[in-house]
A and B are shown apart, each in its own frame.
Chain A
Amino acid sequence: MIPGQIVACWIFLIAFVSGFSVKQAHVAFKGAIKKKPVAFTEPISPEFQKLSKLIVLDAIEDGLEVNFAIESTSLPERAILFLGSQELALDTHYLPQIKGRGQDQSYSFKVAAKEIPSALIYQATQKGESLVASLLLSSERAIDNIFIDLFDLKLGFDKPESLELPKRLGALPEIKHIFNAPPKTAPTVVAQFFSLLVATVSVGLVACWFTTGSVNFEGFPKGCPGGQFLAMMVSIVAMEYVFIKYYLGTSIFGTLWSALYVGLPGLWIGSKFLSNLK
């Protein structure tokens, strides 16, 4: 068999029901992979039980045919194959190609996977629901018209990328804003370690001054220079205070005024004190 060839193996079954004498009912497959046709072992009648075997179409290019023959003496006015989703309560229908003028007329319903409506393909491929194929054979005023579920059809391929469902009013998918990641900072422990290191070095520097005897307080200014010295030191501490206040949020203009009030007297008294040093 070559790919794409319709495979048909006829299993002759005769169902005499009401006016419709349905024979040779089977499902044939069309596709790249060769598959044996599936015959309906049970007669096609109003009491027909849906085929227990799942019919699968493996690729979007695949298709199937539901074929049977009906005696010319009992042809139905309407012969329709429905394919639908029970969950969506939605279906599509196929009309048969009817051939033969002799004793029997053959009915062939061709279902191409790519021609199944997009809503059904979406339901079968995304939601995993098997589509139900139903057969309707009826005539006006016939007593035993047939409307039966034939088989379940599974679409064993992924949703085509081009598939688009018609727009419907309804709730849209939720969207949550994704915030930018906060800036990365050093681990607290590392920052504390290095801060402690700096503090230790500073304390070590002062300790070094003392241990080497550089600090002896023997030249502490006394008398008038002592007052100037204290005033100069106070102005230096005050300048540091102004700087800290600026860091903590004082405006630049407030800081400039404060620096002026502290800096000018400090400069004057400091230069006076330093010029008196011997």
Chain B
Amino acid sequence: MKLNSAIRGLVACLLFVCSTCEASIAKVSPSSSKRTLIIYDKKITDLRAYSDYFENLAQLELDLEFVSVVNDTKDIELFDKGVKLYSNVVLFPLRSRKISKDVTAETLIRFSAAGGNVLAITSPQSSTEAVRTYLNELGIYPSPKGYQLSDHFQSRQDGTLQLDEKSIRSNEVISADGNALLYNGSAALLKNSELLFPVLRAPKTSFTKSSRDEGEWTTGTQGFLAAGFQSLKNARAAWVGSESFFSNAFYEVNAKAVMDITKWAFLEKGVIRSLGASHSHRDGSTYNEEPYKIKDDIIYTIGLSEWRDGSWKPFNSDDVQLEIKMIDPYYRVTLNPSNATEEVQFYTSGEIKLPDHHGVFSFITDYKRNGYSFVFEKDVKAIRHLANDEYPRSWEISNSWVYLTSIFAVGLSWMLFVFFYLTSRPKSLAMPEKKMQ
């Protein structure tokens, strides 16, 4: 008895601790750490020219560390004994070919693979090989050094272009507000990749060319000015081909777009989470209470939240899908929004009749959309075939009615025959004797 009460007390304590943690986690930002390294080249980047941007970064409560490659090159390290030191890295354009001895393209790729977020800013004057190789690995091919984005139809004297709303290619990253953006920099070509997507596109009449009269690097909308990349582990990388895009000179116009890109890159925007998927019988009984069998009617539900403006809010979408698959998908249905709370929007499949094949099935929601963190929920459950007493009984099948009638008719006739045979006396069949003459 004492042991039982002790265990109950322990469980109660654990539940209390868990619920407290859950309540506190509910309001916490999705980016677990805020430590952010900003690498720049003081020869070409005067941080004072970006003070507005850094002020806004500070509002995100980021723990900023500034390192110039000129003096502190030896001190730049992204890992300590294999452990990632920073959550985010901002790479400003560098004049040198290398970032540092320890920070190479391979290090940056390892940093991304470890879940680190990178915001890479290049410019027509930058030529850092490590950054270029890293971007090439993601599928972003910025123009070579000296190539500038121009447009005969709208270039100002200093080469600044005005980007209208049509240039914004990802509303998930930059929320268009109808205002034009100012851009002075280079453009890049993008590889065909599902994980890479354009954020800003060059105007149709623009082109990227060097002053040395070489061929065009990009022509028209073939060129991209900003792009986003999200790995399958939800690590993000964003690239912008203009340093001045972030500068105080353009900040009044570009502030919203700049912060949208930064927030997205640092997992402060476009982050969705699942509050667990569940499925049950139509009547609400769970799999544990009554394992599924073929042709059972079930209901699948999943709740999704989006981190928006500093808190979790319901994530609204019309393309959340459920797959029920055993090697190949048997079902792929789009879920319908059901109830919602202040933080969560729930989606339901409605009633689904399980396949008439038994086996081990996976119930999967694999929500991967450009601009949003990926959600993957998978539950593996066995679907059994019918037990021998769960098939329809013979009297329910019309074919059997003739046989059943015959069986009972023979049985009844047999009983009557026995009864009549034993209670009746045979009539005399004796023929009249012939008279003897």
Contact = CB atoms under 8 A, between A and B. Distances in A.
A209 B221 contact: no
A175 B427 CA distance: 78
A179 B356 contact: yes
A186 B331 contact: no
Contacts of A190: 398
B233 interface: no
- Most chain B C-beta atoms within 10 Å of own C-beta, residue among A136, A190, A237: A136
A175 B323 CA distance: 9
Interface stretch (A1-9, A48-56, A140-148, A254-262): A140-148
A80 to B, nearest CB: 6
A224 interface: no
Listed residue (A171, A199, A206, A221) with the most chain B CB atoms within 10 angstroms of its CB: A171
Contacts, number: 142
- Secondary structure of the B contact surface, majority rule: mixed
Contact of A191 (B195, B321, B324, B398): B398
B205 A185 contact: no
Interface string A159-191: 000000011111111111101100001111011
25 contacts: A78-B207, A80-B219, A82-B204, A93-B222, A134-B204, A138-B152, A138-B153, A139-B152, A141-B152, A145-B152, A169-B194, A169-B369, A170-B319, A170-B369, A171-B321, A174-B333, A176-B331, A177-B331, A186-B399, A195-B404, A199-B405, A202-B412, A214-B420, A217-B424, A240-B415
Interface of A: 77-78, 80, 82, 84, 89-93, 134, 136, 138-142, 145, 147, 166-177, 179-180, 185-188, 190-192, 194-195, 198-199, 201-202, 205-206, 209, 213-221, 229, 233, 236-237, 240, 243, 249, 277
Given A78-B207, A186-B398, A206-B413, A172 B420 contact: no
A169 B370 CA distance: 7
A59 B305 CA distance: 50
A174 B332 contact: yes
A233 B420 contact: no
B422 interface: yes
A249 B394 CA distance: 11
B416 interface: yes
Interface string B397-437: 11101101110010111011011101111010000000000
B146 interface: no
Contact of B425 (A89, A176, A201, A218): A218
A139 B207 CA distance: 12
A188 B399 CA distance: 8
B337 to A, nearest CB: 15
Report the 6 A-B pairs with minimum CB-CB distance, sorted nearest first.
A138-B152, A171-B319, A219-B425, A202-B409, A195-B405, A218-B425
Contacts of B334: 171, 174
B385 interface: no
Nearest to B155: A140
Interface residues of B, number: 54
A206 to B, nearest CB: 6
Nearest to A137: B152
Nearest to B396: A185
A9 B216 CA distance: 33
A193 B5 CA distance: 70
Nearest to B191: A166
B133 to A, nearest CB: 24
B166 interface: yes
B368 A185 contact: no
B427 A213 contact: yes
Given A89-B166, A142-B152, A187-B398, A147 B205 contact: yes
Nearest to B166: A89
B350 interface: no
Contact of A205 (B295, B413, B415): B413
Given A90-B221, A191-B399, A205-B413, A78 B152 contact: yes
A172 B321 contact: yes
B192 interface: yes
Contacts of B219: 80, 93
A229 B415 contact: no
Contact of B401 (A166, A168, A195): A195
Given A139-B152, A147-B153, A221-B423, A185 B397 contact: yes
B418 A233 contact: yes
Given A169-B194, A195-B405, A219 B152 contact: no
